[in-house]
Amino acid sequence: MSPSNTLSIALRVVRQLVRDRRTIVIILVIPLVIMTLLRYSFPGESSLLNNAYPPLLATMGLLFSFMLTGISFLRERSQGTMERMMASPVSRFDMVVGYLLGFFILALIQILVVVLFTIYALGAHHAPGALWRICIFQIIVVTVGVNLGIFISAFARNEFQMVQFIPLIIFPQILLCGVIWPVDQMSTALQWIAKFLPLKYAINGMTDIMLKGQGLLDVGYEIGILAAFAVVISILAALTLRRGAA
């Protein structure tokens, strides 16, 4: 891997997305609107609201990083940028890591804005001193979402098809990973399926950090599983990149 090639690809991705000011506004404003609607849909300071914040933050970290990366990466392919880059000496691994880094920067800014807005503007309850741990854990969740977006975009031929992957990839995780109801109250078969979904570990880790005040070492199992997801998905993305670019 060439660090210079990787960095140049990442910077080009960031510059291209930053120039699209309407997209930047959308990806920053929409999550804040959703969190605000959630806050004021509960009467008063409901305990249910505090319990809803960690699963929703984890879900939004995965969902919006997946959407931003998948659609933007597909646009690179449809505009022919991928083909031109693959004709150069840049390796597939350089391209995957470069795009990952570029999309990761914007996705990270988005989700950190959401976390700070949720805690300071909406007054979400969190354990004392847990803010920096929440942010670090969200970085790991965003990494999984960005890798997943790059990988899944290889199977879509246009942006419309990429949008159709959102309910296929994200909604089952919302249903099975504890966003709506606890996983341990589901049937054994559904609990078994949930073990293979990254959102389950994202929600468990975020809940333990935000509400129980646990440290990063205490959620080391969840972090390890999410890191494994990110590594495996990034390898699969590199292996499918040439076919997706074709």
Reply yes or no on whether the pLDDT at 239 is more than 70. Answer: yes
For range 177-190, the mean pLDDT? 89
For range 90-118, the mean pLDDT? 81
- Confidence band (pLDDT; 50, 70, 90) for 202? very high
The one-letter code for the residue type at 94 is D
What pTM was estimated for this model as a whole? Answer: 0.85
Phi (first) and psi of residue 194, to 5 degrees: -60, -25
Reply yes or no on whether the pLDDT at 113 is more than 50. Answer: yes
CA–CA distance, 239 with 31 (Å, rounded to integer): 32
Q: Which residue has the tokens 């939004």?
A: 60
Q: What is the pLDDT of residue 4?
A: 75
Note whether 65 and 107 are within 8 A (CB). Answer: yes
| Residue 64 neighbours by CB under 8 Å, 6+ apart | 27, 31, 107, 110, 111, 145
